[in-house]
Structure formats: structure tokens, C-alpha cells
Amino acid sequence: MNGRTRRELLAAAGAASIAGLAGCTGALLPGGDGGDDGAETVDRTGEGAVSVAVGADGGFSFAPAAVRVDVGATVVWEWTGVGGSHNVVDRGGAFDSSLAAAEGHTFQHRFTEPGTYEYVCTPHQTRDMEGVIEVVEPDR
């Protein structure tokens, strides 16, 4: 594998997937202006469960960092094992995972109310390890 670990390859693949989806929507993380610092929102409406990598892109980001889901969807955060110990903490208090470092560790939360849920990895929030889940009513 050219000296790259499985974790590095998974992180790179996740980043490439997000980059490939970047042109699919125009929405950004709060505060984003469309520049390099804003993350495109990935639309996962219509899906009952959505995965987000914890410790992606070199270990200090979530992938995807911005996701739109329907009310009732469950988001499952899965640790890559890169970047040390991470957690997932909603700034509004809706959810709070424990710190974990092990590859494959998961934390999940079912979103029952529409709204915007901004979250961080508290040990790495100064490195801008943050994300957002936008929860919308499903189209009927």
C-alpha cells in the first residue's frame, strides 16, 4: 500500500468523497462564505441512518462536516482511530459522547426535532474540528 496505513487510506478516501460531492449543494456550515474554510452540506434526506467519520482528513475533522437529514434520522459517528481522543458534543446540549480514540468506536443520536445542531470535538475545537447537522421535515 505504498507505506500508507489503512487508516490513512480511509481518511483520504473520505476526504476525496467529500470533495467529489462539493459541487452538489450550495449550502455551507454556519459562517461559511463559499471559500476554502466553508464545508458544503451533504444532503442525506431520505436516509434513515447516516455515517460521519470522526478523525478524518489527517485526524482533526468530521467527514462530512455538514449534513442535512430528515427528522427521525439517526446519525452514527464512527472513529477512524486517527488524531488521538475525540468526542462529539452538541453546542446546544442535545448530545454528548464520551472521549474515545479507538478505530471503529461509534456514537449515535436520533434527531427527533427539526433544527440546526452545531457540534465540536472539545479537545480539538481550537483546530476547527466542528460540524453541523441540519434536520428538516421530510417532503411528503
Tens digits of per-residue pLDDT, 89-124? 999 999 999 999 999 999 999 999 999 999 999 999
What pLDDT was estimated at residue 120? 98
Going along the chain from its start, the domains and CATH numbers come out as 6-136 (2.60.40.420)
Q: Determine which of 34-38, 70-74, 135-139 has the lowest per-residue pLDDT on average.
A: 34-38
What pLDDT was estimated at residue 34? 33
Query: Per-residue pLDDT for 35 more than 90?
Result: no
CA distances from 129 to 59, 93, 115 (A): 9, 17, 21
For range 121-140, the mean pLDDT: 94
pTM of the predicted protein model? 0.74
Read off the pLDDT of residues 49-90 as tens digits, 9 standing for 90 and up: 999 999 999 999 999 999 999 999 999 999 999 999 999 999
